[in-house]
Structure 1
Amino acid sequence: MCYMVHGMLGAVERPQAWPSFLHQVREIELGKDRIEGSRLLVVASQANRGATFIAQSVTKQGLMRSYVQNGNSPWLFEFFCQ
């Protein structure tokens, strides 16, 4: 998993060095282009606790249906505000 994450980050930054990820890079770029003013940033997990928490709840707790897509819950809003 860690290799995949580092590979995807490297592929987005330097796609020519990661030819096996070209399809995924194109998909990421298409999604990013649909959101005006968006950009990709690499940050430490401590700086993005909310995303880390959501990712871990899906992978470790098996929550395959994202509760985020179902609407904003008050506790999640508070989590991001803190």
Structure 2
Amino acid sequence: MPILLLIIVGAAAGFIATRLMRIEADIVTTIAIGIFGALIGGLVLRFLLTIAGAMAGFVGAVLGAILLIWLWQTYGPKR
């Protein structure tokens, strides 16, 4: 059952991704793009959640500092 679910989800994800990226692909390629994209995305998401779970405060602080620097450079006083 998990393989059938992976194919169905992969087909849907591949269809949406190929339409968003404006790529014309056949059905087999679309399904393959979706399945491999789901595998890669799942691995990346698990990795990021592991890092965020272990160092959530640090990651949040860095992202907040980056946002603050961008806001300062964009809307702060001009020299």
Q: TM-score, normalised by structure 1?
A: 0.26
Q: Which has the larger Rg?
A: 2
Looking at secondary structure, tell me which structure has more helix per residue: 2
